[in-house]
Structure 1
Amino acid sequence: PGMTSEAYIRLVGGGERSRVAALTFGDAADELQTLTYSLGPRSLYRDLHFSTLAAAVEAWTPEAIGVCDDYDLVPDLPEAEGCKRIDILFVIDGSLSMTDEQRALAGLDGEPPVFAEFTDALLSELTDVEDFHVGVVTADPGASLLHTHREYPELPESPETDCGLPPGQRWLVGPSPDLAEQFACIGATRALSIDEHTALNGALALHDPANAGFLRDDSLLFVVLITDEDTQDFTVTSRVWIHDKYLEAVGGDPSRLIVLAIAGDQGIYEMPKTICQGPYGGAAPGRRLTSIVRSFADRGHTQDICAGSMTATFASILDDVVSACEAVAPIP
């Protein structure tokens, strides 16, 4: 679905999502519904068990007409006061092949710590942001607890692996002079499984009662999914379920959510890619992961883990996070 939606927007809409609308109709069709989400809010999916095709066409026709009628209109922007808080959730693949990427994030590769530099740049742009939370969860199947110890879950929680967070707090709070060192500790994940539930674990972590307090009602949620494999949660649940759980976490308001997947590039519809090689080694195409992330339409972003350094990757998403924060509307 992610590859198809990109091709549809590029080839039919000339690269503009605002010029595209589609009606899809199927039988519990996860791929069709994911495609529909990816094309944007004026596209419609209907399940044949709950609607007739005639009813679906009738419901969608005004949206299709609206795409044409509104194409040249300048939309009225809602009142915005900008976000005061940002909650950043990392889902990090803890397999051995991800060692170099983890070291780059933490600044253990001889270069400045990527994440600390990103948050510094973010706060220099968003001077009204009061604070941010940073949580990390592994991509291991079934994991949803935010980390408080290094190399979890391979190493058990113990005084030797403790990252020094206050009791009962499973996330970092910034800005902080110790942020780089603390993130280097909690961001060091080590997998117990060869399977990766990268997309699913992020959704589960946002709803785990043990993580209560990490995500706040008035914050911008920035989710970062980092892996050199595809997310393998297809045996557990659908793409649509994962998409819906992320949106549910922000009260159904997509303006409070931005999702970034850093994974192997799947290529385009006419020219799919296979294994890529980059500065951190090889990576498999993140096809399912890309489909899930693109289902958030203009709130979902993907970056090729093989394309360049982590520093360049986070620099490329900075403007999108800044714009998303500035556009957050006040809570009624």
Structure 2
Amino acid sequence: MLRNAASLSVTVTALVLSAACSDDGREASASASQPTGVSTAPATDATGGTTDAAPTSSGTATSEPTTATSATATASTDDPVAPKFDIGGKDLGASTTGEGDGCKKVDFLFVIDNSASMEDNQAALIASFPGFIDAIKTTLSEVTDYHIMVVDSDADGRCEQPCVMDNDYQEFCSPKNFHACNANLTECDTTRGAGVIHPVGLYSSNKKCQVFGGNRYMLPEDPDLLATFACVAQVGTAGHPSERPMNGMQAAVSEALNAPDGCNAGFLRDDAILVITILTDDPHYEDEGTPAEWKASVVAAKNGDETAVVIAGLIPKPDLGCAGNGMTQGAHWQEFVDSWGDHGISGSICEPDYAPFFQQAVAVIDETCDNFNPPG
């Protein structure tokens, strides 16, 4: 795999998480963000043991003392507002010698929490995506064929059609002239794990995104990929307050949804590596199943080859002040990431800028791609 990133300078707009909402729509206080931290999951079993912290949607990030690496932000002289993350001229951390045939295709799955506290987190993801995809193109220069799909953390959310006249209806479904209540949604638009192309509700795009190719996932041929991703990834905050991102992930890669007549038909490919990015800030355990079962679903989707998968989790980090109320405080998601060994990477969902996290993720993706042996 070529690593000609010496001239790459990724520009990412730093976003400040000034406030957010808890899942019932009430404002939650936000604390000042601290230096970004990213952790690569250890190879041994871990539970992501954490301690409780006050509810917050802005936070801190570093993580467990493992093989963490952070990008260095250097101020741009032509744009003092937007920092540039210089990754040119340095090893991103991946091996320089792959033992596999290498990958030519990558399937990217973004699992985005669409509950009431996620407005700023979705904005941070959208802001960091241009730099992330540029780094992918530069570092994985032999990969020209990729799919990009977004799913959210529930099925219908608060704005089920027809909308019910209650407080949720007014608060979460009324923007854009009640588009969430009047939109012509298809069955796939309200199926858990189906690719999102028509976000509705508060803080969402509130329109059907124009996805090139007519699928529920994006292609590199999209004439305006960044705008399409921004439309699709703005899933909004009208989702159900009981977040189930892991179940959304399981459904997204399921045989049923990836069948020729399924909502996600064509997304998942045997000869591509699968990169799953999870963004959620709720510390509760509301997904059905266990971390081991969630992993088994993904491995089965890749025909038993767990080395063909990268898991990148932007999740609560209660030991760093990035958490909320709840018994588990996100430890179940940390356990899931950790179960992938050096194919798993986790960072704080509370960070205002996800560029350093995605920069580290590129290294893991690169090494996974180098060592991939596509089925014959």
Give the TM-score band, short-chain normalised.
0.5 to 0.7
Aligned residues: 246
CA contact (8 A) 2:278 2:312 kept: yes
CA distance in 2 between partners of 1:227 and 1:15 (Å): 22
Shift of residue 99, structure 1, vs aligned partner: 0.8
Instruction: Check 1:78–1:180 CA distance in 2 against 1; reply closer, same or farther (3 A cut).
Output: closer
CA distance in structure 1 between the aligned counterparts of 2:223 and 2:128, rounded to whole angstroms: 15
Instruction: Choose from 247, 256, 267 the match for 2:308.
Output: 256
Distance 2:221 2:120 in 1: 26
Equivalent residues in 2 for 1:131-170, closer than 5 Å = 131-140=145-154, 143-151=192-200, 161-166=207-212, 168-170=214-216
Letter in 1 for 2:253: L
Aligned alpha-carbon RMSD (Å): 3.1
* Distance in 1 separating the partners of 2:200 and 2:221: 24
Task: Specify which of 290, 297, 309 is matched with residue 245 of structure 1.
Answer: 297
Instruction: Evaluate the alpha carbon distance shift between residue 197 and residue 178 of structure 1 in structure 2; reply closer, same or farther with a 3 A threshold.
Output: same
Q: Kindly state the Cα deviation for residue 166 of structure 1 after the two structures are TM-superposed.
A: 4.7
Which residues of structure 1 form unaligned runs of 5+? 9-13, 17-76, 107-112, 268-272
Residues 13-36 of structure 1 show CA distances to partners (whole Å, capped at 9, x for unaligned) of x979xxxxxxxxxxxxxxxxxxxx
Identity among equivalent pairs (%): 28
The answer to whether the Cα contact below 8 Å between 2:154 and 2:239 also exists between their aligned partners in 1 is yes
1:150 & 1:214 partners in 2: Cα distance?
Answer: 19
Structure 2 CA distance for aligned equivalents of residues 205 and 96 of structure 1: 22
Cα pair distance change 1:152/1:136, threshold 3 Å: farther
Residue identity matched to 1:149: H
**TM-score if structure 2 supplies the norm length?**
0.59
Shift of 1:104: 2.1
How far apart, in 2, do the equivalents of 1:262 and 1:149 lie?
A: 24
Partners of 2:273 and 2:66 lie apart in 1 by 27
**Paired letter, 1:212:** A
- Secondary structure class of the residue paired with 1:87: strand
Stretches of structure 2 that go unaligned for 5 or more consecutive residues are 1-40, 49-64, 68-96, 156-190
CA distance in 1, matches of 2:226, 2:144: 18
Deviation at 1:176, TM superposition (A): 4.0
- Where 1:218 maps in the other structure, the secondary structure is coil
CA pair 129-283 structure 1, distance change in 2 beyond 3 A: farther
- 8 Å CA contact 1:132, 1:175 repeated in 2: no
After superposing the two structures, state which structure 1 stretch, 223-232 or 250-259, moved more. Answer: 223-232
1:42 corresponds in structure 2 to none
2:234 counterpart of 1:188: yes
Matched, 1:84 2:104: yes
2:166 corresponds to: none
Q: The residue matched to 2:313 in structure 1 has which SS?
A: strand
State the AA in 2 paired with 1:5: D
Distance 1:117 1:130 in 2: 17
* 2:120 matches 1:100: yes
In 2: Cα distance, 1:301 partner to 1:222 partner: 11
**Could you tell me which amino acid in structure 1 is paired with residue 45 of structure 2?**
S
Identify the structure with the greater strand proportion: 1
CA shift, 1:294, in A, is 1.5
1:95 deviates by: 1.9
The residue that corresponds to 1:210 in the other structure is 263
Structure 1 residues 189 and 143 mapped into 2: Cα distance closer, same or farther (>3 Å)? same
**Whole-Å Cα distance in 2 between the matches of residues 7 and 232 of structure 1?**
14
2: distance between equivalents of 1:78 and 1:330? 14
**1:1-332 pair list within 5 angstroms:** 5-6=45-46, 79-106=99-126, 113-140=127-154, 143-151=192-200, 161-166=207-212, 168-174=214-220, 176-190=222-236, 191-207=238-254, 208=257, 209-230=262-283, 232-234=285-287, 236-267=288-319, 275-276=321-322, 285-307=329-351, 309-332=353-376
Q: CA deviation at 1:239?
A: 2.5
TM-score, normalization: structure 1? 0.66
In structure 2, the residue matched to 1:59 is none
- Aligned 8 A contact 2:47 2:338 in 1: no
Inter-CA distance 224–153: structure 2 relative to 1 (3 Å threshold) = farther
